[in-house]
Amino acid sequence: MKKVLMLLVLFAGCQMAWAEQTFNKADLRQTMRRVADWQIAHIGASPHGELNWVNATFYLGLTRWAEIAEEENGDESYFKWLRRLGARNYWQVEKRMYHADDVCIAQTYLDLYRKYKQESMLIPTVARTEWVMEHPSSGSFNLSYSDASTLERWTWCDALFMAPPVYARLYVLTGDKKYIRFMDREYKETYKQLFDTEEHLFYRDRRYIGQKEANGQKVFWSRGNGWVIGGLVEILRVLPADDKKYRPYYEALFKEICGRIRELQQPDGFWRASLLDPESYPSPETSGTGFFLYGFAYGINQGLLPKEEFMPALEKGWKAMLTAIEEDGKLGFVQPVGADPKKVSREMTESYGPGAFLLAGSELYQMASNDLVLNNLSADRVREIAAMLPDKPQGIGVTYKDRKYWEAVAAMPEAQALVKEARESMEKGMPPFVDSLYLHLNKTGVRLPGENMMNARYQYVFRLSLAECIENKGRFVPAIRKGIAELCAQKPWSIPAHDRNLNNYYGRDYYVDLVVATSGNSLAQCLYILGDKLPAETHALAQCAFREKVFRPIFRCLEETKPFYWFTVRNNWNSVCLAGVTGAALTLLTDKEERAYFVAMAEKYHHYGMEGYPDDGYCSEGVGYYNYGFAAYVTLREEVCRATNGQIDFFCLPKFVRLAQYGKNIQIQNNICPAYSDCRIGLAPADFITDYCARALGQETSPARYRFPSMTDNLSLHLIYLFPNPAWPVNMTSEMKKALQETAAPLHSRWPLANIFISRPAPDSECRMGVSFKAGHNGESHNHNDVGSYTVAVGEETLAGDMGGPFSYPGDYFDNGSYKYPIKNSFGHPLPVVDGNLQQTGKSAQGKILHTAMSQTVDSCLLDLTAAYAQTTSLRQLTRQFVYDRTGKGSFSIEDRYSAEAPIAFETAITTRASWKTVGKDMLELTSGKETVRIRIEASAPVSFTSETIEVNCPPYTRIGIVMKDKARNGYIRMVMM
């Protein structure tokens, strides 16, 4: 992704902000990990062989980073990757016997040998070097690529990095001085042939002696001299500090060249491809810069270079290097393979560039501070949380290796169906990313084409991942790898509706939305449960994509700009996004402090989402969003409890108890719930949530039930269904125990702050009718203008009342003017129309409760709806009275009574998906399935009936208008359902 340079400078810190001291360890770890992962993920794209010097330089830098990762994070993955590399090549070096480049990889082998002491790591290198020493070349130093003999000595300055450190290592490992004598003799011959004593720099090879740059200066190549400095560091790193025979020469040369290089640093901190003619090569060059910084940092650490002189150059150079790193970890401005200064651009990279970067970073790490400085979260709290976390990241689920578990899952019919579906999906291939579908919303305002396309791509990978764990035959792995690679290469992870400025689509600046968070977490869980079924390169590629699209955007918005709006919003976005981001971090991030940052983030911001629920525990967004938003909160709570061993629990408050009981108490009867707000008709609270909450509260102790997640829903919010470790038990306080007792009411449930009522028939009674009614206000999240709405259930059918929200949102559903939709305004609800006016929007449009009475037989409530119709200036008062009688077969009446200063038109309505007809003059009959209800209409004056079908991205329903034929100052309409 291309970034404006100033933005890159601003956002250069990786996961932790700069402390007063330029270098801090937390920042360095994240930066080095990011660069290392990107190169591992893309090493297969290199046209050079695995043993080639281009890649060998990266391996050496990776070895240094691997030491830090293992020591600080217990992360052995990088050493494992290097060992697999060596083992599959039998620890061989490249083929050309004399060529210095072809033994460069031996530096990594020998470092691994020093750590693991496996002879196989040493033998091929010893054989090659001994043969060369026993058959020394007498080739010319007049390098010519048409004459291979001129490449048998170290006739180009790059060679001083490639080969001499190998011989120095062998000398120290074996104690045999023949290695150091050979190295010293050959090195000094190269020095004599290529070193310019006036400029204190090395020519690349003898061909450049006498050549001039455009400004008349001698040609000294930046990376060529970087190779020399890097090679000197590698020699000095292993030579004994008390060596008097060889070390002084290399120390002196190191100081001499570093002194000259420091003078040639450019004002922006970089060095250019040509050291003496930077104007001809104005772009930064990072491979040479990286090696120079490696030398400076080593020299300062070892006391070879004066800190007061070299530290400013080191700091400036490192900050400059950070601006060349893309969000995903790619290091740019690396001059391609060559022998002299050439033009370089931002998109250019080669693996030796990241190698030099990691070498420099490993030396900087030794001088870095342990300080953790943050602008938003508490650094002390992050450290405290880090101490609570396990050494290794952990996902929600069970990895494929637990065959006993997965064999039990495989026995489920749903699992077998999924495997079959996965095979069919794999045959068709991953659904393509279609640009026109993503852009469809911006052009037409229609959401579904783009959303469906995005979701199908995610679901393809999720489906195959679960199928592979179930089947465990490896047949899905190639397709999963390819699918993950495609998702990582896909710039937007968000849906089009949340990317209207197309910043995500073009990769300009990533915004983490609901889908990025949840689908990202789902992908993270797939990576976790598949584990080593996927190669390290796939895991590294995913790490890069997550840093680019999830973790770094989150860190930037919290620490450097301003939090995304969902951090402080009081609706489902808060819980869903926090659960997704935190879950992915706990699953993927090896660094404990980095993981702890995201837990601290959740700890600080999760209460905003909870504030969206009144303290009485009602979900104003509706049952569907309870299943979505509260399920996410459950997931977040469980993720954090497991990670911190219960030391952080977001459920320890009475409000949670009431929220936990919502799923049970919102049900009228037979799993029927009122479809208020944007709830789809027919939805009920998820069994898993009610079961989980019961277990957390200690109400349920039976074995956990396994539920197979639906592939039509978001996987990350349902994985706990499939991996039902018992819910982390809540440490119940006396206040929580009291709240638990207060919420138990079999005949009626009430949420006094939200003013929502549920009235049920008595158990084993003749009555088969249950109802819900509400007061509320019109300023809720996912608001419908529905003050005074109700729902009537008979048996297992919803016969009348609120018909809920759309099944999918129109493109402008959340825009200004969206109340044109009758499903959202009060016209599509069972509510009055007063003198042609619908209800107003906003909190001021509220229902005021004038009287309530709840008993064993009759429940009643009188509401004042006047404020909801404030634009009707002549209206004095509008009341609605609900009376539910559970005696006999049961009845429910709704009476609207109004008074006005002048005659007004008035009508009320019944909304239903039932079949309906008139039965006599003032009687309606509704039928759905086997259930029938009759509605007697009583009014202060004659009424007429109207009928209108409403269909807004939902199954159609009927609005039956009951219209007063004449205007009047006072009147009433009473509907009695029985």
Catalytic residue set = 158
Residue 668 CA to residue 747 CA, distance in Å, equals 9
Q: Which helix (H) or strand (E) holds 99?
A: none
Residues 851, 862: contact at Cβ < 8 Å? yes
* Three-state DSSP state, 90: coil
Take residue 403 and report the two structure tokens written for it: 């065959």
**Helix-, strand-, coil-residue percentages of the chain, each rounded to 5:** 45, 15, 40
Joined tokens for residue 246: 């060889």
Sorted by sequence, the CB contacts under 8 Å of residue 720 that are 6+ apart come out as: 396, 634, 635, 638, 688, 692
Residue (of 534, 454, 59, 355) closest to 542 by Cα position: 534
Q: Which residue has the tokens 């010319």?
A: 140
- Cα 390–chain centre separation: 20
- Residue 352: CB atoms within 10 Å: 32
Using a CB cutoff of 8 Å and minimum separation of 24, what contacts does 238-244 make?
238/165, 238/168, 238/169, 238/171, 238/172, 239/168, 239/172, 239/180, 240/172
- The helix (run of H) or strand (run of E) holding residue 972 is strand 968-977
Supply the DSSP string of 589-625, one letter for each residue: ---HHHHHHHHHHHHHHHHHHHHTS-TT---TT-HHH
* Cα dihedral sign, 17-22-24-29: positive
Q: Look up residue 827 and give its two tokens.
A: 């016209």
Cα–Cα distance, 721 to 784 (Å, whole number) = 31
Tokens of 928: 């759905």
Is residue 965 within 8 Å of residue 902, measured between CB atoms? Answer: no
Strands, sheet with 756-759, edge to edge from the N-terminal-most edge strand:
748-751, 756-759, 769-774, 790-794, 797-801
From residue 672, give the alpha-carbon distance in Å to each of 76, 173, 666. Answer: 53, 76, 9
Separation of alpha carbons 79 and 69, rounded Å:
9
Quick one: tokens of 897? 């009574």
Q: How many helices (H) and strands (E) does the chain have?
A: 33, 21
Quick check: 2 and 346 in contact, CB under 8 A? yes
